[in-house]
């Protein structure tokens, strides 16, 4: 990662490798869902020697929860048969509301949380390099480090991901 990037709601709807996109507001939480199509290239996240499950392959269902009040983005992945694969929490700045979509500045870090609650920090090496190079402002560095401490503590207390996300399930065909 060489600079801060933005995550925006609705991008899965425009992605050629995603099918069956849907989005719904549930009170103040936006829930997005899409399924990886046949033309997606399998992706294994490898970071500092750590491997996360393959979450980009045909039939895998991605869901993203935008918690505006808390400032959390949480993604939950389901296998083609509906089994939970894990949770991905990108470490971001505040969620911003725009006409027709939400966005947040992504710091290049994320937490992978297994179904059993094991936490792995992803992107640390690239984040450190970008910080040293000055691509990430000191305020963003501090916010990212604080958010990681907050979310890992909440995960250890079984308060993150929130029960709504943990209990959210899907039915496959």
How far is the C-alpha of 3 from the C-alpha of 32, rounded, in Å?
Answer: 26
How many CB atoms lie under 10 A from the CB of residue 116? 6
pLDDT at 1: 47
pLDDT (0 to 100) of residue 56: 80
CA 173 vs CA 58, 59, 97, 123: distances in Å: 14, 11, 34, 35
Domains and CATH numbers, the chain: 5-167 (2.40.380.10)
Q: What is the mean pLDDT of each run of 10 residues along the chain (173 residues)?
A: 81 93 94 92 53 75 96 95 94 94 94 89 90 92 95 95 95 78
pTM over 0.85: yes
């Amino acid at each position: 990662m060489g600079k801060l990037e933005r995550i925006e709601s609705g991008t899965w709807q425009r992605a050629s490798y995603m099918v069956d996109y849907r989005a719904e507001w549930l009170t103040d939480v936006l829930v997005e869902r899409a399924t990886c199509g046949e033309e997606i290239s399998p992706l294994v996240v490898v970071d500092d020697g750590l491997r996360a499950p393959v979450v980009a392959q045909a039939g895998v269902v991605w869901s993203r929860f935008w918690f505006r009040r808390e400032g959390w983005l949480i993604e939950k992945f389901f296998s083609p048969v509906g089994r939970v694969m894990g949770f991905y929490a990108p470490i971001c700045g505040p969620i911003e509301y725009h006409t027709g979509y939400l966005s947040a500045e992504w710091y290049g870090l994320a937490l992978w949380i297994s179904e059993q609650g094991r936490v792995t920090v992803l992107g640390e090496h690239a984040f450190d390099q970008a910080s040293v190079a000055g691509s990430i402002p000191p305020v963003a560095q501090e916010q990212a480090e604080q958010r990681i401490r907050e979310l890992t503590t909440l995960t250890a207390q079984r308060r993150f991901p929130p029960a709504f996300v943990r209990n959210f399930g899907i039915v496959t065909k």
